[in-house]
Amino acid sequence: MPIDPNIALGAQLESIDFAWTPTDVQHYNLALGAGARWTDPAELRYLDDRAPQVLPTFATVAPFFHETEPPKVQFPGIDIDLAKVVHGSQEVVVHQPIPASGKATFERRISELWDKGSAAVIWQEHTATSSDGELLWTARSSIFAKGEGGFGGDRGPSSKSELPDRTPDFDIFTPTLPQQALLYRMCGDRNPLHSDPEFARAAGFPNPIMHGLGTYGLVCKAATDTVLDSDATRVKSFRTRFAGVLYPGETLHSRIWKTAEGELTIAVTVVEREESPVLADVVLTYE
């Protein structure tokens, strides 16, 4: 059985010691399109040679930035074919602005298992603590594994956020490059679903798709640039549920509402496919 909940649930995964440099941060920001406004001082803060500003979404790649092999979905009590897996959701909470360079330890555990019958949802909780003992960020993420349900677990909640019934406060269009996924995969996610057409077709897609976490980062940057004057240090948390796919070269449409003090609600769709949803239940908090 690929999933044994008696072993998997609550399992502590191997910790990871990692480090990052300003060049890594620059590389990540470039993979999200930084530098498109190449004469704008606010935009160029993302690409400063000594202290580039760091988006909270960098937390999703920092521990694995220099990986060159495809990831494996192999944990205690879990062994799943990578082709069956897509990202389900992601949340990052930063406890302080992420520095442009540093060393940290990444701890993670399997926090929840949901049995959807035809699929499984596997949740992880992560923390990153700097080498001097400061908690940098906390994250939660889930993956959706097709055909891996039926192990007898809890089905999990079914909830959906309602969007405000009014015109968005901001309307943003973010074009992506045909090579956007090829740029983003250099940040440590070498899943062939995003680069190999044959692998993508075997997984049920006509072409390689953009990394969900790449779309996550693109939208966080777009909201930061539009609402927060390109000041990434103001972002406190960012969460989403992955509701669809983006193909490189398509255009993201982000509708943004100010729904509370220090909170944005965002809906993200694809222009070229009749506003097909890509990200849902998106909330960004800021100061």
Q: What is the pLDDT of residue 157?
A: 87
253 included as an active-site residue: no
194 included as an active-site residue: yes
Q: What is the pLDDT of residue 152?
A: 87
pLDDT tens for the chain, 287 residues long, are 579 999 999 999 999 999 999 999 999 999 999 999 999 999 999 999 999 999 999 999 999 999 999 889 999 999 999 889 999 999 999 999 999 999 999 999 999 999 999 999 999 999 999 999 999 999 999 999 999 999 988 899 877 778 999 999 999 999 999 999 999 999 999 999 999 999 999 989 999 999 999 999 999 999 999 999 999 999 999 999 999 999 999 999 999 999 999 999 999 999 999 999 999 999 999 99
Please, is 193 exposed, middle or buried when counting C-beta atoms within 10 Å of its C-beta (0-12, 13-18, 19+)?
buried
Query: In this structure, what CATH number is given to the domain that contains residue 110?
Result: 3.10.129.10
Q: Structure pTM?
A: 0.95
DSSP 8-state assignment for residue 246: -
Distances (CA, A) of 150 to 96, 168, 277: 41, 41, 28
Query: Which entry of 27, 115, 126, 189 is annotated as an active-site residue?
Result: 189
Q: What is the pLDDT of residue 9?
A: 95
In the chain, which residue ranges form alpha helices assigned H by DSSP?
5-8, 22-31, 41-44, 180-184, 197-202, 212-227
State the total domains in the chain: 1
Q: What is the pLDDT of residue 2?
A: 77
Query: Which entry of 27, 87, 126, 194 is annotated as an active-site residue?
Result: 194
**Positive or negative CA dihedral for 189, 77, 199, 249?**
negative
CA–CA gap between residue 113 and residue 107 (Å, rounded): 18
Task: Find the domain containing 9 and state its range.
Answer: 5-286
Most distant pair of Cα atoms in the chain: their distance: 56
CA–CA gap between residue 10 and residue 110 (Å, rounded): 5
**Positive or negative CA dihedral for 79, 80, 82, 86?**
negative
